[in-house]
Amino acid sequence: MKGENIRSVKKEIERCHWGNVKVFESQGVTIFGGGMLRGANPLVADIVIDLAGNVEAIQAPLGWRVTKYAKPIVRIPIEDFGAPELPAVFWHDLWADLVEHPGHVLICCGGGHGRTGMVLAILACVAGIVPEEEDPVQWIRARYCVNAVETMEQINYIASITGRKVHAKPVVGKKLGVPHMGWWEEIWK
């Protein structure tokens, strides 16, 4: 029984994202998504947008050789399964800042699904990548992870910030990829 559960969990891992996943490029900015529990590596990014407070910064005095490993980190604290109370202008300003400092940007939270998916969908719309007639959540799920954007609160926030119609349904309540809440229980049934 335990072996069967491990195999089913392995299938979920294979269909879900792992590591830093390239989502889109625009104006010299390459956006990656990921989850710290799912192998995201902030060391290969030029800028990290940390949505869960998981990324520790390397700090050293100016002029030290190790400063080349330090990464600018933008911390946007968002409660797990939640959405921030930030206005649309914030996301437009963030995108403008990223364009002024082009490079590889990693957007990450714990599992890389809800908060990361939400921010990816918003930034893809702000950057003009998602066509006007497309649902931004479905667009992100097709290009990043089928489990991206977990809750109705996140879906409603995306719709309010982007002005887009979102028809996608939340994924919370469905069996999510591993590791996620309760994944260890699936293995040991």
In 3D, which of 71, 40, 41 has the Cα closest to residue 57? 71
HEC readout, 90-135: HHHHHHHHHHHCCEEEEEEECCCCHHHHHHHHHHHHHCCCCCCCCC
The whole-model pTM stands at 0.82
The per-residue pLDDT for range 19-71, each reduced to its tens digit, is 999 999 999 999 999 999 999 998 889 999 999 988 876 666 667 776 666 77
C-alpha 98/C-alpha 25 separation (Å) is: 12
pLDDT at 139 over 60: yes
pLDDT at 178 over 60: no
For 112-121, 166-175, 178-187, which range has the lowest pLDDT when averaged over its residues? 178-187
Buried b (16+ CB within 10 A) or exposed e, 34-54: bbbbbebebeebebbbbbbeb
